[in-house]
Amino acid sequence: MYGNDFAATGDAGVPASDVAATSAGRTLLEQVEDAERELRSASERSVVGDDRLQDYFDAVINADQKIEPRDWMPDPYRLGLIRQIAQHAHSEIIGMQPEGNWISRAPSLKRKAILLAKVQDEAGHGLYLYAAAETLGVSRSDLVDQLLTGRQKYSSIFNYPTLTWADVGTIGWLVDGAAIVNQVPLCRCSYGPYARAMIRICKEESFHQRQGFEILHTLAHGTPAQRAMAQDAVNRWWYPSLAMFGPPDTASTHSEQSMTWKIKRFSNDELRQRFVDMCVQQATVLGLSLPDPDLRWNAERDHYDFTQPDFHELMRVISGDGPCNRQRLEHRRRAHEEGAWVREAAAAYAAKRAAREPAGV
Ligand code: BYC
């Protein structure tokens, strides 16, 4: 976890100091900072121009520099990025709902204010991502239309219900935790606008995970009923969180191409394993268990062995048949319709200003 406030107790075979480190001894926050430095130096492009567009594109990618909106890029690269960034943006926007349900029921004013800020951050993440997608030549209204008509998807995880306050803590700990593990490598993605958006998002996401962890820590150390509520929430969210990383590598349609283009840096299974390794030790600090009887340290692999999520369930949820898919989309459609007057007013104001301002100013 980023900047863990909670002392780690260590776990079988794994030194306590490794709790915050997930890759080559670098904490997740250090990895985001490395990516930010890399991004700055990549902006001073050293690859020499070439008349053959495809060769130049390949050379920029091979040199680990960034493709920018002004650059030529193959259509499948552009379309693949639009697909992934749009799905990511939609996930942030739909992802406001499961927690938004709890803003009015948070157990104290402080918890309410924190949750409100978190949900607002998610709206902001959606907007950075829509803006990044727009640099690829699509309009935000087209993307929103594709979400509302079910042609573009969002993360499976947001189709599960939030039944208790402990679910809010568990979403912060497990769902935001999975999101961070998935998204830190995207800070090094080959497309500049996406990489820049991800750096900002990951820094904010770190607070989200910590607030979830802190809610769960409080419940796990509270009354027996609170503790049981925390354990129940972890039991329900564990496998859906593992499924967030996507199908297994053998069934992942986009991974290979995406990794060649350095959009994805690690495969779905690699990131899922990294997440499990990180969570086992954090669960120990929380004093909660993970609902997998086969979870155990494998010294040969240097990783935890674990039970995979139900990928048939993942496919069913992605295709629209999860516990809350209909409810989530209906709510989003209603909110979009009710917001029409805001979009119209903003457009009218922009037109009025443009008409008033002298040309060229
Ligand atoms: N849910 O070939 P694959 C957040 C789809 S935001 C739904 O492996 P890829 C948060 C996949 O799109 C969380 N669909 O795909 C927000 C593809 O379908 P299409 C979202 C999934 O792209 C608020 C097909 O299955 N994060 O955490 O190489 C509050 C085949 O998969 C899922 C992102 O979007 C799924 N779980 O890898 C709190 C991160 N898994 O398009 C938290 C950016 C797979 O062919 N995205 N699919 O119809 C990615 O990193 C990648 O797109 C994925 C999938 C790892 C998700």
How much is the average pLDDT of 313-320? 97
Residues with CB under 6 A from ligand 1: 83-84, 87-88, 91-92, 95, 122, 153, 155-156, 175-176, 179, 182, 243-247, 252-255, 258, 264, 268, 318
Task: Report the residue among 153, 167, 198 best suited for mutation to probe ligand 1: largest number of ligand atoms under 8 A from its CB.
Answer: 153
The pLDDT of residue 142 is 97
Q: Is the pLDDT of residue 318 over 70?
A: yes
| Nearest atom of ligand 1 to the alpha carbon of 83 | 41
Continuous H helices in 63-108: 75-94, 96-100
Q: Which band of pLDDT confidence, cut at 50, 70 and 90, is reported for residue 42?
A: confident
Residue 319: helix, strand or coil by DSSP? Answer: coil
The pLDDT of residue 15 is 34
- The answer to whether 284 touches 9, Cβ cutoff 8 Å, is yes
- The answer to whether 96 touches 125, Cβ cutoff 8 Å, is no
The pLDDT of residue 52 is 85
- The answer to whether 164 touches 190, Cβ cutoff 8 Å, is no
The pLDDT of residue 44 is 67
Q: What single DSSP character describes residue 291?
A: S
Q: What is the C-alpha separation between 8 and 12, in angstroms, rounded?
A: 12
The pLDDT of residue 29 is 82
Ligand 1: distance of its center to the CA of 90 in Å? Answer: 11
Out of 40-49, 95-104, 201-210, pick the least confident. 40-49
What count of other Cβ atoms lies within 10 Å of the Cβ of residue 106? 18
Mean residue pLDDT across the chain: 91
Residue 52: helix, strand or coil by DSSP? Answer: coil
Ligand 1: distance of its center to the CA of 217 in Å? Answer: 29
Q: What is the pLDDT of residues 1-13, one digit of tens each?
A: 444 444 444 443 3
Task: Provide the strand spans (E) within the chain.
Answer: 21-23, 26-27, 296-298, 303-305
Nearest Cα to Cα of residue 304 among 315, 293, 312, 317:
293
Q: What is the C-alpha separation between 6 and 111, in angstroms, rounded?
A: 19
The first and second tokens of residue 217, run together, are 């820590």
Burial class (CB in 10 A: 0-12, 13-18, 19+), 141: exposed
Q: Is the pTM of this model over 0.85?
A: yes
Q: What is the C-alpha separation between 332 and 15, in angstroms, rounded?
A: 45
- The answer to whether 129 touches 190, Cβ cutoff 8 Å, is no
Q: What is the C-alpha separation between 119 and 202, in angstroms, rounded?
A: 15
Q: Side chain identity at 203, as an amino acid letter?
A: K
The pLDDT of residue 70 is 92
Q: What is the pLDDT of residues 157-204, one digit of tens each?
A: 999 999 999 999 999 999 999 999 999 999 999 999 999 999 999 999
The first and second tokens of residue 305, run together, are 């062995």
Ligand 1: distance of its center to the CA of 178 in Å? Answer: 12
Task: Report the residue among 254, 261, 270 best suited for mutation to probe ligand 1: largest number of ligand atoms under 8 A from its CB.
Answer: 254
Q: What is the C-alpha separation between 166 and 188, in angstroms, rounded?
A: 33
| Nearest atom of ligand 1 to the alpha carbon of 271 | 55
